[in-house]
Amino acid sequence: MLKSLNVRSYVLSFVILVALLGLWELLNQPPETTEALTEYEILMGGADQEARVPPPSAVLKLAAEELGNPFYDAGPNDKGIGIQLGYSIYRVLAGYLLAALIAIPIGFVIGMSPLMNKALNPFIQVLRPISPLAWMPLALFIIKDSEASAIFVIFICSIWPMLVNTAFGVANVRNDWINVARTHELGRVRTAFTVILPAAAPTILTGMRISIGIAWLVIVAAEMLVGGTGIGYYVWNEWNNLDLSSVIFSIMMIGIVGMILDMVLSRATRLVEYNE
């Protein structure tokens, strides 16, 4: 039954995709003209035409060319999509893993200690709503390095969902399990690793899954600001080159990579889930 439902859902998704692409193709055909148009006029849909988004056929043609050689390097402003995504993924993972190393232990402390929870909660509530990009000017001034500043922005946006979810998961472990650990005279450290961590793992990984999604959103905007390399810079550079097909292609790649990152964390979450 479940397998049949999955097959039908995939078929329906495919049908919806084909319908949307077909509609997009029909609504964005280039106008018929014999006049030679400038690059700007082509971008805007023709000299006397309304602006048009490139049809999917043009985007797919470009995608085939880009993915056919994704790691070419022809200079600072001309790198393959694979290289640009590699830079972005590196920055995301560097900031994300650093945030995990700090957020999860602190979240454990907050979740296990009502005193620390009340003491640190005001700081968390003040810092958590601040937009990560608001930290960028300060990071650039203090760190004086665009690469490290981008990683810091990922760190600061990733830390809060992991910290809050870890604290929540640890604080809500069933008292019965804690009491069993006390009955067996387990120390606090052993109780934390053998009882609390496995019980709180699904909640912790949910926070990590939220964080990776936010981090991938933020890195694109951060790279648009600092420039140089990365998928965000690629989008902005192609817009400056008046190449909407490349812009749409890069948007598709951002979505696909974001989906893969989410799927990895989703799979990890399912592996640690348990049924009572």
For the residues of 181-242, what is the DSSP string, one character each? Answer: HHHTT--HHHHIIIIIHHHHHHHHHHHHHHHHHHHHHHHHHHHHHH-SSSHHHHHHHHHHTT
Q: What is the CATH number of the domain that holds 181?
A: 1.10.3720.10
Give the pLDDT confidence score for residue 227 in this predicted structure: 74
pTM of the model: 0.83
Domain count, the chain: 1
Give the pLDDT confidence score for residue 100 in this predicted structure: 95
Q: Are 39 and 226 spatial neighbours (Cβ–Cβ below 8 Å)? A: no
Q: Is residue 203 part of a domain?
A: yes
Give the pLDDT confidence score for residue 164 in this predicted structure: 94
Segments of the chain with pLDDT less than 70: 1-3, 5, 30-52, 179, 185, 274-276
User: Cα-Cα-Cα-Cα dihedral of 77, 86, 131, 111, to 10°?
Assistant: -170
Q: Is residue 224 part of a domain?
A: yes
For residue 174, what is the enclosing H or E element? none
Give the pLDDT confidence score for residue 25 in this predicted structure: 76
Nearest to 253 by CA among 270, 269, 268, 238: 238
184 phi and psi angles, rounded to 5 deg? -85, 5
Q: Helix crossing, 56-68 with 244-272: angle to 10°?
A: 70
Q: Is residue 59 part of a domain?
A: no
Q: Is residue 130 part of a domain?
A: yes
Instruction: For residue range 64-86, list pLDDT tens digits in order.
Output: 988 898 888 887 777 889 999 99
Q: Is residue 118 part of a domain?
A: yes
Instruction: For residue range 2-40, list pLDDT tens digits in order.
Output: 567 677 887 888 888 888 878 877 877 766 654 555 555
Q: Is residue 204 part of a domain?
A: yes
Structural domain span for residue 110: 81-272
Q: Is residue 228 part of a domain?
A: yes
